[in-house]
Structure 1
Amino acid sequence: MWTDKHRGIRMSQQELLCKNSCGYYGNPAWQGYCSKCWRDRARPPGAHPQDSRPSSDGTPVTFSKFEEKKNIEKGRRIYTMRRLFWGSPSSPKPGSAEIHSNVLKAYQSLEPGDFPGFLKILRSPPSQRLQSRCTAFLNTMEAYHDLPVQKQSDLVQDFYQSFSAHFSDLPEPQVHQVMEHLEKLIMTRLHKWVFCHDSCDDEQRDLTLQRRIRSLNWVTPEMLDVPFPDRKSGVTGDPFLLAITAIIEVDAKRAPQDKLACVSKCCHHIFEALALSNSEPANADDFLSALVYVLLKANPPRLHSNMQYIIRFGLPHSLMAGESGYFFTNLSCAVAFIEKLDGPSLNLSPEEFEGYMLHQRAPSTGHRRKHVAKSTQHLLEELKARQESMDQDMDALSTQLHQWMETVTAQLDQTTATFALVQKEICAQAQHFPNAEERSRTSSAQTDC
Structure 2
Amino acid sequence: DREGQLLVDEVLDYLKLSAQRKKEVRRLLISDLNPSAVSQALGRMRSNQEYVPLAVSALARSRADWLYGINLTRACTLLGRKVGFNGLLSIGRVQTPILGLVARRDEDIENFQPKPYFEVFATLLTAKDERFKAKWIPSEACQNWMDEDGRVLDRRLAQNVVDRIIGQQGTVRRVEDKRGKETPPLPYSLSALQIDAARQLRMDAKKVLDSCQRLYEQKLVTYPRSDCRYLPEEHFSQAPEVLATIRSNIFSLSKAVDNALPERKSSAWNDKKVGAHHAIIPTSLRIDLERLPELDRKLYELIARQYVVQFYPDHTFRKRVIDVEIEKGLFRASSRQTVEEGWKGLITSGKSDQRPGDDESNEGNVFLPELAKGDVLDCPEAELKEKLTQPPKPFNDATLLSAMTGIARFVQDKNIRKILRETDGLGTEATRANIIELL
TM-score, scaled to structure 2 = 0.20
Mark the structure with the bigger radius of gyration. Answer: 1
Greater strand share, structure number? 2
TM-score, scaled to structure 1 = 0.20
Q: Which structure has the higher relative contact order (CA within 8 Å, separation 6+)?
A: 2
Greater helix share, structure number? 1
